[in-house]
Amino acid sequence: MVNQFVDGEWVTDYDPTNEEGEFERQPTTFRDRVGSEDAEAGRYHLYVSYACPWAHRTLVTRQLLGLEDSITVDVVDPYRDDDGWQFTPEKDKCTPDTVNGFDYLREAYVEADPEYTGRVSVPVFWDKQEDTIVNNESREIMRNLTDVFADEVGNGVDLVPDELRDDVDEVLDAIYEPINNGVYRTGFAEKQAAYDEVVTELFDALDHWDSVLADQRYLVGDRLTEADIAMYTTLVRFDEVYHTHFMCNHQFIREYDNLWPYLRDLYQTRGFGETTHMDHIKEHYYTTHPDVSPKRIVPMGPDPDFEADHDRDSLAGEPPV
Binding positions for ligand GSH, rule: CB under 6 A = 2, 28, 52, 54, 119-123, 136-138
Q: Closest Cα to residue 155, out of 263, 54, 45, 270?
A: 270
Question: Least distance (Å) from ligand GSH to the CB of residue 220?
Answer: 20
Distance CA 288, CA 141 (A): 25
CB atoms within 10 A of CB 125: 25
Residue 262 among the catalytic residues? no
Question: Least distance (Å) from ligand GSH to the CB of residue 109?
Answer: 11
Distance CA 199, CA 240 (A): 17
**Of the two residues 28 and 251, which places its CB atom closer to ligand GSH in the complex?**
28
Q: Is-contact 77 104, C-beta < 8 A?
A: no
DSSP per-residue letters across 19-38 = TTS-B-PPPPS-B----GGG
**Of the two residues 140 and 167, which places its CB atom closer to ligand GSH in the complex?**
140
**Of the two residues 122 and 213, which places its CB atom closer to ligand GSH in the complex?**
122
Helices (H) and strands (E) in the chain, counts: 11, 6
**Of the two residues 30 and 149, which places its CB atom closer to ligand GSH in the complex?**
30
Q: Of 44, 50, 52, 267, which one is the catalytic site residue?
A: 52
Query: 200 CB contacts (<8 Å, ≥6 apart)?
Result: none
**Of the two residues 70 and 136, which places its CB atom closer to ligand GSH in the complex?**
136
Distance CA 236, CA 253 (A): 9
Q: Is-contact 101 131, C-beta < 8 A?
A: no
Question: Least distance (Å) from ligand GSH to the CB of residue 103?
Answer: 17
User: Which residues on adjacent β-strands are paired with residue 73?
Assistant: 46
Question: Least distance (Å) from ligand GSH to the CB of residue 80?
Answer: 7
DSSP code of residue 84: B
Query: 192 CB contacts (<8 Å, ≥6 apart)?
Result: none
Question: Least distance (Å) from ligand GSH to the CB of residue 268?
Answer: 24
Q: Of 50, 116, 184, 242, which one is the catalytic site residue?
A: 184
**Of the two residues 137 and 239, which places its CB atom closer to ligand GSH in the complex?**
137
Q: Closest Cα to residue 47, out of 91, 9, 87?
A: 87
Residue 184 among the catalytic residues? yes
Question: Least distance (Å) from ligand GSH to the CB of residue 57?
Answer: 7
User: Which residues on adjacent β-strands are paired with residue 78?
Assistant: none
Give the residue numbers marked as catalytic.
52, 184
